[in-house]
Amino acid sequence: MSAPRTDGPLLIEEQEDRVLIRLNRPEVRNAIDQSMVDALHEACALLEREPRVALLVGSGGTFAAGADIAQLRERRLTDALAGINSGIFDRIHRLPMPTIALLDGYALGGGAELAYACDFRIGTPTVKIGNPEPGLGILAAAGGAWRLRELVGEPLAKEVLLAGRILTGEEAQEVRLLNELAAPEDLEAAGHRLADRIARQAPLAVRLSKAAFHAPREAHPLIDNVAQAVLFETQEKQDRMTAFLNRRKEKE
């Protein structure tokens, strides 16, 4: 395990099978500014070089209250076309291994879109999740306008995106936007328990399963067959199946 970094817009703690990424701008409720986007790109580069489960959590009792409004107010046409936030959230979505967002306090606007880009979401009962962008004269352009529909369905997504509905933790779990509810003091432990479950699987099998899951429909079944062919040749497949058969034999 590496020592955690102690400054900057992100605090990163590396372990052998996972990386904890803590959003570290508590004085502005972890608003996502350019410095945080740059740091998230660095974190993604680390996870692309050394694929591991990533846990994203806020500091100061808040996940992220949105993008930095002061910076957003100054952005113009070319900034929007550059896809500053959508680019980093898409990169997070495409990371090789699963990502887990741990949500407390506010997960609004860009904070919600960051959570939508992750593979799993665990939240507290008092978390507030939503996309109030139209109230500021803009739209949820960093993935919210389409990822949320994929996650919860069109009717509820339209309430959130067009009518400003904010979801509580209980409401978000009811529609499976959250995989689990946890008390604030247990939130990180709940994330690590999920990471433990993932870590018990064969890492390459998890990685290729995620890639196949997100592949376009026209890529199937070819991508499944190719991925399975790769896994069939691994020593880990041999070892795990042999261990399974030996355990079964011992029970007979």
Please indicate whether residue 133 is annotated as part of the active site: yes
Catalytic, out of 13, 48, 50, 133: 133
Cα 98 to Cα 36, 56, 80, 133, 240, distances in angstroms: 21, 11, 28, 28, 21
Cα dist. 247→159, 196, 240, 244 in Å? Answer: 51, 22, 11, 5
User: Does a cis peptide bond (omega within 30 degrees of 0) precede residue 221?
Assistant: yes
**What is the C-alpha to C-alpha distance for residues 244 and 124, in angstroms, rounded to an integer?**
37
The rounded distance, in Å, linking the Cα atoms of 12 and 152 is 30
List all residues 6 or more positions away from 148 whose beta carbon is below 8 Å from its beta carbon: 112, 116, 131, 140, 157, 160, 161
C-alpha to C-alpha distance for 92 and 44, rounded to whole angstroms: 7
* Set 16, 74, 113, 159: catalytic member: 113
Compute the distance between CA of residue 135 and CA of residue 131 in angstroms, rounded to an integer.
Answer: 9
For the question of residue 159 being annotated catalytic, the response is: no
SS3 category, 23: strand
Q: Report the catalytic residues.
A: 113, 133
